Amino acid sequence: MSKFRFQRAQLCIPYGVFLVCFVLAPLIVIIYYAFTNGEGQFTLENLTGFFTSPNTIGTLFYSFGIAVVTTCVCLMLAYPIAYILARSRFRHKSVILMVFVMPMWINFTLRITALKEILTVIEGNLSFHPFLNTIIGMTYDFLPFMILPIYTTLLKLDNSLLEAASDLGADAVRTFLRVTLPLSVPGIISGIVMVFLPSMTNYVVLDMLYNSTYIMGSLIGAYFSSYDWHNGSMIALILLIIILVFTLFTNRYADEDAGSSRGGVLR
């Protein structure tokens, strides 16, 4: 007779084991590969190599630039959209929101193909304006991810606070700047998290638009296809550290409800 008794908490064992094997273990392997060379000896060469090579450092700054500009453009377009939708009295708000979010469910490579065809008609050769086209492509791809969290936060906004502000003599602009905007910061932060990191690493957008891959993610791709796993791991590790710092910094401010907005309206 075994003394095994079924407990509800034991249900998480399969998932826990799965996470340890396929989420934790890969990270450990990455760290190991990043600090060893081909013979398995400890080395810092991959690290110093990254920071001394003009190619990798240049790519890091260029992708940072792409990510910052994309995030700003998305924010400037998404905030008004979310604000108008959340604060207005349109009768079918949720339907209009759906219309803005729906592109999320169409395969992004097909959407970028469509964008490419249109841009080619307008501009001709897309590689003449690489930075501009990258920003257009990334914004087109990620805009819905920015709209959703900001909308969720604005929708929860307590109307009586706005009334109080206007009762106390604040005009519309002041009310917006001093009440609405500060209260929507959690949504904005969640949106930034959703857009910034992907636009720093998603090299497929560039690759599809004009066959360039001058972005952080593609360095991993290049090292991967040339079987240089040690340098590739170092790039992955550096990206991982950027992501970690970014997450720690934003976690404090992000809106929990709007957090994982990939699910979005599906909930």
Query: Measuring CA to CA, which residue among 64, 79, 111, 83 is closest to residue 191?
Result: 79
> Smallest distance, Å, CB 39 to another protein?
15
- Tell me the two tokens of residue 43: 């080395």
Interface with another protein (CB under 8 A), residue from 197, 206, 234, 258: 197
Q: Specify the stretch interacting with another protein by CB under 8 A; choose among 46-54, 125-133, 179-187, 205-213.
A: 205-213
Q: Closest distance between another protein and the C-beta of residue 51, in Å?
A: 19
Alpha carbons 191 and 175: distance in angstroms, whole number: 23
Which of 192, 201, 234, 258 touches another protein (CB under 8 A)? Answer: 201
Shortest Å, Cβ 107 to another protein = 5
Rounded CA separation 226/219 (Å)? 11
Min. distance of Cβ 135 from another protein in angstroms? 14
Please give the structure tokens belonging to residue 5: 């008794």
- Closest approach of Cβ 90 to another protein, in Å? 8
CA gyration radius for the chain? 23
Question: Taking CB under 8 A as the rule, does residue 20 contact another protein?
Answer: yes
Determine the interface stretch with another protein among 149-157, 175-183, 184-192, 218-226 (rule: CB under 8 A).
218-226
Determine, following the binding rule CB under 8 A, whether residue 57 of this chain makes contact with another protein. Answer: no
Binds another protein (CB under 8 A): choice among 25, 57, 161, 177: 25
> In the window 80-139, what residues touch another protein (CB under 8 A)?
80-81, 84-85, 88, 94-96, 98-100, 102-111, 113-118, 120-121
Contact between 222 and another protein by CB under 8 A: the answer reads: no
Interface pick for another protein out of 13, 41, 160, 167 (rule CB under 8 A) = 13
Region from 43-51, 154-162, 179-187, 203-211 binding another protein, contact rule CB under 8 A: 203-211
- Kindly tell me the sign of the dihedral angle through the C-alpha atoms of 213, 218, 223, 227: negative
- 26 Cβ partners below 8 Å, 6+ apart? none
Give the chain's length: 267
Alpha helices by DSSP H, the chain: 13-19, 25-34, 45-52, 54-87, 93-101, 108-123, 130-156, 159-167, 172-175, 181-183, 185-201, 203-210, 216-225, 229-251
